[in-house]
Structure 1
Amino acid sequence: MTHSRRSFLIGVPGVAAAAMIASSTSVALAGQPHQTPIAIRSRSAVDAPELPELVVDYPDHVDLRVHYISRDADDPAGCTTRGPEETVEAEVPAGTAAVHLDGVRYELLQFHFHTPSEHVLDDHHFPIEQHFVHRGPKGETLVVGLFLTGGGRGGTLQDAVLHTLPEECGKEVEVSVDLSRAFPDDLSTFRYDGSLTTAPYTEGVSWLVLRQHRAVTDSSVEGLEELFPKGNARELQPLNDRTVHYRKQR
């Protein structure tokens, strides 16, 4: 396959609708980029109950294709080096899952993992951060971020994928999961206007970062950390003129 659904996202330009979704009313100024990830401070986030609730429409059974993503131009197979932008990605069949905001459907394209977490919440880095990447009807990019910790008992969507990680140069893995239980019951989110966290760092991405984390098994955490011993998280970016909003949803 010459073009993955992920590669389509890389070329999507920022659009006004994306900023509206994140409810960031600020406008990027010259020299003031709106990049991701950022340090989120719950006490500084502005309560925004007027923002639309996050409606999750994920199926209880879906077959995923999990593969290793290499981003080294000199080593496209990813066999000799592990760059900070590489990850493990689970591709979701087209049309099978989506989230809705204010009646607008955003199709789930794929999800992937970063270790340690790219965002920081109240000065805390989590062992893993999972990104669910969606595409809107006009090509908008919307990402839901979920923090993962160890100590879980297993049986989660995340464990099913992290327990079957593909080798760095190995074949892709197929796994069947219950996608409907991907998120915690508490869907409260921090929302802001940001960017992709891999090159070319396209802006105009709507970020919804879940406040509630999910626990996975210690072996799930250790497996991803062993695959990326130096981590695969982008460094924190300045907030600049942006406002982070908080939409409580329990």
Structure 2
Amino acid sequence: MIHSRRSFLIGVPIVAAATVVATSTSAIAAPSHQSPIAIRSRSAVDDPELPELVIDYPDHVDLHVHYVRHDMDNPAGCTIRGPEETIQADVPAGTAAVRIAGVRYELLQFHFHTRSEHVLDGHHYSLEQHYVHRGPHGQTLVIALFLTHGGRGGTPQDAVLHTLPQECGNDRDIAVNLEKSLPGDLSTFRYDGSLTTAPYTEGVSWLILRRHHAVTDASVNGFEKLFPKGNARKLQPLNNRTVRYRRQR
């Protein structure tokens, strides 16, 4: 098997979704590598050789915050709350990125789910924030951050969640200190998965931050009120994938 350079960025060899194993009578599809998954920290492989996650987020960035509807062309969609809808903050091109093993991944946008899509040691968090990045060859890398109650406010997340755009309502433009949106502890669980919304494309590099981030009760409650039935995809089988852990404090 030939591995691309990206296949080692998270420590998990990536196999194309269309790969098949030929037999004398049929072709057997490769196991599905879908997200989200349940992560057990004791089962994760501790791998200090994984490349460091380097954050290059600015202390000032202008965000375009809007409600994402699943069926944008259907006027009736304004009265139907779909499970794949969310609040999304678009980031201007070239303003924020992360680097792994010298490769730069541009931050395109971030959005939120409730409850958390991933589960850590059997625990669902109130919210999960996804930072979606694009690599130089079109690769997708997502950093996931768990959000909890009890914060004192003033975080970039609170700025976005404080006054949420309503479905089919007006968008918002706000400036935030994106540099402060992540915890100081950048230890991550890493695995190869997929998008969690249609078309569920595989080959996505997932980095799940172990340390959660606290936002105000009002921020959590407001998002939960907007999505009373939640907007998280159900857990997917691991299918023999290895979750690796990279400590970085």
Q: What TM-score do the two structures reach when normalised by structure 1?
A: 0.91
Distance (Å, rounded) in 2 between the aligned partners of 1:76 and 1:195: 30
Cα deviation digits, residues 204-250 of structure 1 (max 9, x gap): 00000000000000000001001101000000000002000000000
2:112 is equivalent to residue 113 of structure 1? yes
| One-letter code aligned to 2:10 | A
**Residue of structure 2 in register with 1:178 after alignment:** 177
**Residue of structure 2 in register with 1:127 after alignment:** 126
Distance (Å, rounded) in 1 between the aligned partners of 2:169 and 2:163: 12
CA gap of 1:171–1:39, structure 2 versus 1, over 3 A, is same
How big is the shift at 1:72? 2.7
CA gap of 1:151–1:65, structure 2 versus 1, over 3 A, is same
**Residue of structure 1 in register with 2:158 after alignment:** 159
SS of the residue 1:78 aligns to: helix
CA gap of 1:152–1:248, structure 2 versus 1, over 3 A, is same
SS of the residue 1:229 aligns to: coil
Cα deviation digits, residues 163-221 of structure 1 (max 9, x gap): 02101110111111000111000000000000000000000000000000000000000
Residues 17 and 140, structure 1, Cα contact 8 Å, conserved in 2? no
**Residue of structure 2 in register with 1:169 after alignment:** 168
How big is the shift at 1:78? 3.5
How big is the shift at 1:32? 1.5
Distance (Å, rounded) in 2 between the aligned partners of 1:241 and 1:90: 34
**Residue of structure 2 in register with 1:22 after alignment:** 10
* Deviating more after overlay: 205-214 vs 71-80: 71-80
| One-letter code aligned to 1:191 | R
Distance (Å, rounded) in 1 between the aligned partners of 2:160 and 2:72: 27
SS of the residue 2:218 aligns to: helix
**Residue of structure 1 in register with 2:192 after alignment:** 193
2:84 is equivalent to residue 96 of structure 1? no
**Residue of structure 2 in register with 1:5 after alignment:** none
How big is the shift at 1:19? 3.3
Question: Which structure 2 residues correspond to residues 1-250 of structure 1 after superposition, within 5 A?
Answer: 16-25=4-13, 27=15, 30=29, 32-72=31-71, 75=74, 78-250=77-249
SS of the residue 1:158 aligns to: helix
Distance (Å, rounded) in 2 between the aligned partners of 1:22 and 1:192: 6
Residues 14 and 203, structure 2, Cα contact 8 Å, conserved in 1? no
Cα RMSD (Å) of the superposition?
Answer: 1.6
| One-letter code aligned to 1:34 | H
Identity %: 71
| One-letter code aligned to 2:11 | S
Distance (Å, rounded) in 1 between the aligned partners of 2:63 and 2:159: 11
Residues 19 and 204, structure 1, Cα contact 8 Å, conserved in 2? no
Residues 18 and 142, structure 1, Cα contact 8 Å, conserved in 2? no
Distance (Å, rounded) in 1 between the aligned partners of 2:149 and 2:203: 32
Residues 133 and 141, structure 1, Cα contact 8 Å, conserved in 2? yes
How big is the shift at 1:82? 1.0
* Structure 2, unaligned runs of 5 or more: 21-28
* Structure 1, unaligned runs of 5 or more: 1-14
Residues 152 and 215, structure 1, Cα contact 8 Å, conserved in 2? yes
SS of the residue 2:35 aligns to: coil
Q: What TM-score do the two structures reach when normalised by structure 2?
A: 0.91
